[in-house]
Amino acid sequence: VTIYPDPNRIAEVQQMMSSTWRACFTRDRKLVAGANRVPVGCRVVNVLRVENHRAFARYWHHKEMLRERRSPCTPFATLTSGKINLLDDEVNERYLFHGTSPESAYSIARDVFHIDKAGSGAGCMFGRGIYLAENSSKSDEYAKEGGGVYVGLCAMLLCRGILGEVLTVPSSGDQEGNVRSGGYDSVCGDRLAAAGTFRELVFFDEEAVYAEFIVIYARIFGGDD
């Protein structure tokens, strides 16, 4: 596994995070971070590219298997559609965010996502899966400041996710069975429609997500310079 700085990506990742950042207080921000203030934005300090050949190979295999079974899927747009690199629309491949700590981001990038660790940072509103978001500010609810050289800095993984056929649900409830039965490949928990907050994308196959970039950033609060 190779992880190296990709400074040429900083501007476009900053643009993606800023354009999808929406200051909206949710229950998760209070529960996870114990925070009463919502950052108004973020400043990207560094972008690291992850080259994990084992993880990418199994991700690619999952995508090809889904393509054979499902393609083309019902189109599903996200706020991140069409940004960074061209992804595969036929299987609704999208870039999505996952908030964590700098140390955990490094650990996930060197290995893979593990669903058995799901819910360790927050609840599992739609079932035990990998939770990603189209809004960087939603994923920031789960981000944690690091230690050492990362004091004052948070981390977010910018992941490729294969959504495939998406089941959209407005209210909480374990949806894993609806995906495992073969009718769908992922779940959109649409709390934006239900409560005016955010949509979360939930994956129940570890192979459907690949952490491609680690984003190191600082939160910006109202009144900050």
Which uninterrupted H or E stretch holds 160?
strand 154-162
pLDDT single digits (tens) 89-135: 999 999 999 999 999 999 999 888 877 765 544 557 888 899 999 99
- pLDDT tens profile 175-221: 999 999 989 999 999 888 767 789 999 999 999 999 999 999 999 98
Query: Is residue 225 in some structural domain?
Result: no
pLDDT score for 95: 97
Q: What is the pLDDT of residue 123?
A: 56
Mean pLDDT of all residues belonging to the chain: 89
Q: Determine the pLDDT at residue 134.
A: 96
Note the pTM of the prediction, 2 decimals. Answer: 0.91
Q: What is the pLDDT of residue 202?
A: 95
Tokens of 37: 């203030």
Residue 32 falls inside a structural domain: yes
Where residue 68 falls among pLDDT bands split at 50, 70, 90?
very high
- The CATH number assigned to the domain holding 102 equals 3.90.228.10
Residue 97 sits at the vertex; the CA angle it makes with 94 and 103, to the nearest 5 degrees, is 135
Query: Which residue range(s) make up the domain with 34?
Result: 2-220
- Cis omega (within 30 of 0) on the bond before 72? yes
pLDDT for res 111: 87
**pLDDT, position 25:** 63
Domain count, the chain: 1
Residue 76 within a domain: yes
Furthest C-alpha separation in the chain:
52
pLDDT (mean) for 17-37:
71
Examine residue 55 and state whether it is found in any structural domain, yes or no: yes
Q: Which of these ranges, 22-26, 167-171, 195-199, has the smallest mean pLDDT?
A: 22-26
- Is 116 a domain residue? yes
Residue 113, pLDDT score: 82
pLDDT tops 70 at residue 27:
no
Do residues 23 and 137 lie in contact, with contact meaning Cβ atoms separated by under 8 Å?
yes
Is 33 a member of any domain?
A: yes
Residue listed under structure tokens 């649900």? 169
